[in-house]
Amino acid sequence: MTCRVIETPIGPLTAAADKGAVVWLLSGAMPPARYPPTPEEEALLDRLEQQLKEYFCGVQRDFDLPVRLTGTPFQRQVWEQLRQIPYGEKRTYGEVAAALGRPKASRAVGAACGRNDILLLVPCHRVVGKNGALTGFSAAGGLAAKEFLLRLEQTSEETP
């Protein structure tokens, strides 16, 4: 596994690549991995860093990097559903639950969002509370970061 701290407008994000996939992208700076990096992992993190720079400039809208989602079957279903939310759009926890065929599971969807280890590539910031209230995102830089990301995507959508 290879780790790298990437500076962003929402603060440092620590990325990790392992065996050809991004395995996490989390808020904050973490100590480097104890294993020597492989050229493939370094190249993947180079691509991630470039795509993040372009995302924060409003150019990159979709990430085309391989990810490996690690969690329960339900969590992975939620995360895959989040990856279907288009750039610049939002869904409520209830809408995500309904899309999964489990309309009463909005709290479980919220819990799965809170366990997301791959920020931005699995866009949990696009999920909001009932009536559009900003909630969650505590482990990912807080509501200020979530608001920044939503505003960035909305502004980029409006730019011709």
pLDDT digits (tens, 9 = 90+) for 61-116: 999 999 999 999 999 999 999 999 999 999 999 999 999 999 999 999 999 999 99
pLDDT in tens, 27-57: 887 766 667 788 999 999 999 999 999 999 9
Determine the average pLDDT of the residues in 149-157.
87
- How many other CB atoms are there within 10 angstroms of residue 4's CB atom? 20
Residue 137's pLDDT is 72
pLDDT in tens, 103-129: 999 999 999 999 999 999 999 999 999
Position 159 pLDDT exceeds 60: no
Residue 152's pLDDT is 95
Would you say 37 and 60 are in contact if contact means Cβ atoms under 8 Å apart? Answer: no
For residue 57, indicate whether it is catalytic: no
Catalytic residue among 3, 57, 113, 124: 124
Q: How far apart are CA 94 and CA 100, in angstroms?
A: 10
Q: Which percentage of the chain shows pLDDT scores above 90?
A: 78
Q: How far apart are CA 136 and CA 28, in angstroms?
A: 17
Structure tokens at 43: 């190249």
Q: Is 57 left (phi over 0), alpha (psi -120 to 50) or beta?
A: alpha
Q: Which percentage of the chain shows pLDDT scores above 70?
A: 92
CA distances from 142 to 114, 145, 148 (A): 11, 6, 10
Taking the whole predicted model, whether its pTM rises above 0.95 is answered as no
Residue 59's pLDDT is 93
Query: Burial of 84 by CB count in 10 Å (0-12 exposed, 13-18 middle, 19+ buried)?
Result: exposed
